[in-house]
C-alpha cells in the first residue's frame, strides 16, 4: 500500500494526512467519513457556510466560533471538530473541499477501495448503483465506491471515471460523435 504522504500534497494534503492518521490510529475512520460527508453536504447547500470558509473578512476567532457552533449543531465528532477548529485558527478553511477529497482517497486506499465518479442524466437508484459497483468490481478487481452526480445535459446514459479511465456512454457523447462523422462526410 502507498504511504499516505504519497497520496496527498499541499496544505489540504497535510491536514488530510494528519486527520486520516488520527482517525486510523483511533479506529474512527467510519465516524470521520460520516462527519466529512455531513460537512460536504452543508458546503454544497449553504452559501453562508461557503462564505464563512472563504472570506478574508472574518477573523480567525469568528471563523472558529462559527465552525464550533456548526459542528455542535451537526453533532460532529471531536476529531473532525478539532481539525476544523485548527484550520480556522490557521486560516486554512478555504482548503476544506480538497481536504475532504483527499481524506476520502486515503480512507478508500486503506480499505482497498476505488472510487468511481459516475455522472448520469437522472439520479441512480440504489439497485442501479449496486449493480454498477458490482460490474466495476469485476473490471477493476477492487471494491468500488460510487460517487454519483447528476448532469441532465447528458440526455441519457452514464459517464464513469475510475482512476485514469473514463467510459462515456452518454447520448450527448454519441450525438457529438455522430455530428463529427457527418462533418467528415460532407
User: How much is the average pLDDT of 70-91?
Assistant: 95
Question: Alpha-carbon distance 102 to 36, whole Å?
Answer: 11
What pTM was estimated for this model as a whole?
A: 0.69
Question: Alpha-carbon distance 24 to 17, whole Å?
Answer: 10
Residue 82 scores a pLDDT above 70: yes
Q: Which pLDDT tens digit goes with each residue over 118-173? A: 999 999 999 999 999 999 999 888 999 898 999 999 999 999 999 889 999 999 99
User: How much is the average pLDDT of 59-70?
Assistant: 94
Q: Which pLDDT tens digit goes with each residue over 41-54? A: 999 899 999 999 88
Question: Alpha-carbon distance 178 to 133, whole Å?
Answer: 29
Q: Which pLDDT tens digit goes with each residue over 14-25? A: 999 999 999 999
As a whole number, the mean pLDDT across the chain is 90
In 3D space, the residue among 68, 57, 121 whose CA is nearest the CA of residue 94 turns out to be 57
Grid coordinates representing 12? 489540504
Task: Give the pLDDT score at 3.
Answer: 47
In 3D space, the residue among 166, 164, 18, 182 whose CA is nearest the CA of residue 92 turns out to be 18
Q: How confident is the model at residue 9 (pLDDT cuts 50, 70, 90)?
A: low
Amino acid at each position: 500500500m502507498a504511504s499516505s504522504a504519497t497520496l496527498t500534497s499541499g496544505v489540504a494534503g497535510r491536514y488530510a494526512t494528519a486527520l486520516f492518521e488520527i482517525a486510523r490510529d483511533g479506529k474512527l475512520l467510519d465516524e470521520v467519513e460520516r462527519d466529512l460527508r455531513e460537512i460536504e453536504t452543508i458546503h454544497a447547500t449553504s452559501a453562508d457556510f461557503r462564505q464563512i470558509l472563504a472570506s478574508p473578512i472574518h477573523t480567525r476567532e469568528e471563523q472558529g466560533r462559527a465552525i464550533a457552533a456548526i459542528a455542535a449543531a451537526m453533532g460532529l465528532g471531536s476529531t473532525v471538530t478539532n481539525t476544523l477548529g485548527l484550520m480556522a485558527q490557521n486560516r486554512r478553511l478555504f482548503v476544506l473541499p480538497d481536504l475532504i477529497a483527499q481524506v476520502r482517497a486515503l480512507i478508500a486506499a486503506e480499505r482497498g477501495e476505488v472510487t468511481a465518479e459516475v455522472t448520469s442524466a437522472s439520479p441512480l437508484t440504489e439497485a442501479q448503483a449496486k449493480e454498477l459497483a458490482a460490474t466495476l468490481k469485476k473490471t477493476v478487481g477492487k471494491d468500488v465506491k460510487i460517487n454519483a452526480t447528476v448532469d441532465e445535459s447528458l440526455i441519457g446514459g452514464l459517464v464513469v471515471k475510475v482512476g485514469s479511465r473514463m467510459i462515456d456512454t452518454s447520448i450527448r457523447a454519441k450525438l457529438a460523435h455522430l455530428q463529427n462523422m457527418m462533418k467528415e462526410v460532407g
